[in-house]
Every structure is written in structure tokens, then in C-alpha cells.
Amino acid sequence: MRSWNIKNITTASCLAASLAIGAAAPVYAEKVLNVIPHADLKNLDPIWTTAYISRNHGYMIYDTLFAMDDSFTPQPQMVDTWSTSEDGLTWTFVLRDGLKFHNGVSVSGEDVVASLQRWGKRDGMGQQLFKVITSLEASSANTVTMKLSEPYGLVLESIGKISSNVPFIMPKRVAETDAFEQITDYTGSGPFKFEADQWVPGSKVVYTKFDGYVPRAEPASAASGGKKALVDKIIWQYFPDNTTAMNALMAGEIDYFESPAPDLAPLLAADPNITVEVNDPLGNIGFARFNHLLPPFDDVEVRRAAMMAMKQEDYLAAAIGDPQFWKTCYSVFPCGTPLANDVGSDIMATGSIDAAKAALAKTGYDGTPVLIMQPTDVPVLSAFSLVTAEKLRNAGFTVNVEAMDWSTLTSRRALRDPVGEGGWNMFHTWWIGADVIDPMAIAFSGDPDAGWFGWPTDAELEAARGQFSKATSLEEKQEIGRKVQERLWAIGASGELGQFFTPVAYRNNVKGLIKSPVQFFWNMSVE
């Protein structure tokens, strides 16, 4: 089997030449980090989709104005200095020197404006921010001015958000692409370049170091600080089978395994050459997402009946296994975070097939089949799908399960068509805790036009989310958080499947892993 480990390679011809001149000529060994990502990369636009594999791709090749440090405080990234007017209505951002796109063109204020405008049409926090933006313009080549209709408490938190959708800065010509269409130009300004001609969907993605990138001077901290490319090349190699992936890591053909199946963790940890650890302190929150537009889940009481059948322990035991990696959580916000609460959670804490069956019988459900999309290449979500299928059948639903890969699912979930024309009724996913830590998450949107896949409608929910951005005290934020949660449970927005922690695995010659809810590859080296 071919080895991708870094080795000092000296060809016979080089050796002969060095002997001829009486001295050994050093030969540079290209440093390559070989990675198994958590999913196949098929969708390359991190604004068009919230898929984490596309977000991770975005971090490889793009940069952001601000970025969250490990305490979730926004820090300047592409910005050098910024200021606000006394009334809080005018924000001015000055870009730092040396920012260049991969084609050598300097990053300008116009690039920033176009990028933020496109992001603001798709992202939950962006949508809320743009409701109060009256103008956003490049006041000079390296300066952006944002004017607001009223003071807004989450400006930096919005443009510096750590996860999907991240407000990555693209060239103006790219950012002018319709927000609901995918980009076709992948020119970024981040520490690595995407090698489009080497991309093989279903197999391989190649990134190379961008020598023109100038890191910040501060130490790296989560998404912020100095992003130093310490390897020449990063190769993502996709393995649909987790056992094959594990064997590749143990054989030294792979350096880093982003998301091994939890049941493989003991086997990997037993290898003295491999480290297994949890890299995200907030973990993940499992979701069962309903399509609110199509029957049978266009009926709120049918959705709530389905939720009554969802016993978190059954999902987590089946998908995660080892109890050290999961816990039940009946809050829409991650347990252990400031907004976590139990308001309205009785419906999710029920976990009873009998209760679900009785509730479903009262709805007049007519047997309309439920089409569940099952991503077979993501073990956790595949298991979630099968658990739901069994529970819904036992509760009286007619259920069909359609197998596919995750990338196909992330494309199909955007379709609002009837099931017979490519649509869907349910899919399962997870959000990292950092994504759903407050009501601004697009996962909690009640706007069917601009909201997340599933498209629930609730004006009361949207009003509460809008209030959150203006809250000034923790107590006020917590009260709004309780209101948001009450509405989400009341309308049966999603089934909450508990909180779990996915370990990473890497060979001991890999150094510099950054502790964060998001997988970053800068500052990592292979020794």
C-alpha cells in the first residue's frame, strides 16, 4: 500500500552529483499532511450550504474580518483597526496591510462589501444584522463603513462567527454570484490554495501553501490569531468505510483522522503511535429535521407526535456507544452553556412509543409515507436515521428510508419539491455546540423564506430572535432564550437527539492541533 508519510528522499542521480562535487547536496522533502475528513467534499461554496465539510474547506482557502478566539470573543483577523461612533450607528473597519488573493490581487473594501452582502442573504446571524444595516460601502480601497438604523449588540459576533455560515471574504466578482447559486471560482486569500485540477470528488482534495499569506502576529487561538501554514501540502483523502480509514491511519498512510466512528476509538487508542482525544469542549447536538412544507409533517401535531417517540438514550447508545462520549440534553441550547434551559422540554423528554402512537392517532394521519434520507457514509447520522425509522414505524407511521452519501443529502435537502420529484420528509444532522449557543443560529429560524432546510414558519419565534440582538444583560438574554425554546418545542421545529462528543485520532508525529469546535489545519506540522 502506498505510503504518504513524509520522508527524506534522495534520488540516485542527486547522490551521484553530490559525490562528484565532493559534498552532499541537501534535498528538500516536501511536507505533506494527509487527512481523512469527516465527509466527502462535493459542495465548494461555504455560503450556499451549511455543511461542515464545506465550512472546513472555506477555512482552508478564505479569511475573515474577525474571528472567534478560544473564549468565543471576536478578535480582528483581516481587520487592522476599527471604530464605532458615539451613537453606535456607524462602524468603520480598516483592513490590515499585505492581504492578497491567491491570484496576487490585493483584497479591497469592495471585496468585503460584496462578500458580506452575499453572506447576509443566507446566514441566520447575517440576516438579522442586515435588517438594521442602512448602508455598507467601501469608503476607500482598504476601508469599509457600515451604518445602522439602530444600535446592534452583535456586530462583531456576527461578522466573526466561527461556524456555518462563516462570512468568508471572496473576490468581488465571485461574491456577486447569486447567494442561492453556487460559486464556480475558488480564489481565496487564506493560508492555503485549493488545487481545483487535482480535486477528485469522492476521493481526494489537495491544498497547497499560499506563500503570499501574511499571518497575524498573535498566537493562534481557535479561529483567531496567526494562521501559519507549516506544511507544503494538505491532502484530504476520503474513505467511505471507517474500518478502511482506521487501517490507513494505523499503517501510517494517513496522519490525521478527523471523525472516526466512536466504536473505533478504543482500537485506535490502543496503538502507541496514535493519540485519540476530544477536540471540541462543547460537543455536538443531534437533530432530526422535519420538512414543514410537505405532508405529513406540514401538520404541527404530527411533528410533535414523532418527537414524543424520540428517546435520546436510544439514539446516542446506537450511534455513539460509549457513554463517556454522550449525554442526554433537553435544551435546544447546549447543556452547560449560559442559555441552556428546560422550558417546554417535556415533549422531548417523553421518549415513549405509546405516547407517540396515542398522539398520532388524534391527528388523523392518513398513512402518508415519511421519506428519511440516510447518509450511509456518516456513521452517526446513518445510525440516527435507522433509529428514527424504527421508532416512527412502531408509532404508526409509514416510513421509507433512502440511502445516499452525505454530499448528495446536503444538495437534496435544499429542494422544496414533492417527495416524488426529489424532495424529502426528514433528515438527521448535528450542529456543533458553538453553532447553536444562542437564538441567532439559523437552525432556530422561523422564517420559511430565508430560514434553514425544513422551513418552519413562526412569526413569534422570529420576533423573539430579533429581540435577542438588542438584549444587554445575561438575564434578559436568558429570558429570550427560554421564549425561543418554548416556541421551537411548540411548533415541533426539530427533534433534539442529545449531546455527544466526537474524538479525533492522529499519529504522534502530528503537532500543533488547535483546540476548537471547528477543525483547523493551520499551525499543524508533521515531524
Q: What is the DSSP string of 265-298?
A: HHHHHTSTTEEEEE--TT-EEEEEEE-TTSTTTT
Strands (E), 376-485: 399-404, 426-432
pLDDT at residue 133, as a whole number: 98
Helices 312-319 and 379-395 pack at an angle, to 10 degrees, of: 140
Q: Which residues contact 137 (CB under 8 A, 6 or more apart)?
A: 109, 113, 144, 145
CA distance 147 to 84: 10
Quickly count: other Cβ atoms within 10 Å of residue 366's Cβ: 8
CA distance 61 to 317: 37
Quickly count: other Cβ atoms within 10 Å of residue 256's Cβ: 22
Burial of 5 (0-12, 13-18, 19+ CB in 10 A): middle
CA distance 503 to 242: 14
| φ/ψ (deg, to 5) at 179 | -65, -20
pLDDT at residue 29, as a whole number: 87
For strands 370-375 and 426-432, give the pairing.
parallel
Give the pTM: 0.86
Residue type at position 248:
A
300: closest CA among 347, 268, 340? Answer: 347
pLDDT at residue 12, as a whole number: 39
pLDDT at residue 6, as a whole number: 33
Q: Which residues contact 421 (CB under 8 A, 6 or more apart)?
A: none
Mean pLDDT by 10 residues, the chain (527 residues): 34 41 62 96 96 97 97 96 97 98 98 98 95 97 97 96 97 97 98 97 97 97 98 96 96 97 92 95 95 98 98 97 94 95 95 98 98 94 97 98 95 97 97 95 95 97 93 94 98 98 95 95 96
**Domains observed in the chain:** 32-280+503-527 (3.40.190.10), 284-500 (3.10.105.10)
Which DSSP state fits 334? Answer: P
CA distance 368 to 426: 13
Residue 364, all three cell numbers: 388523523
pLDDT at residue 441, as a whole number: 94
Phi/psi region, residue 497 (left: phi>0; alpha: psi -120 to 50; beta: rest), is: alpha
CB 203 within 8 A of CB 91: no
State CA 129 to chain mean position distance: 20
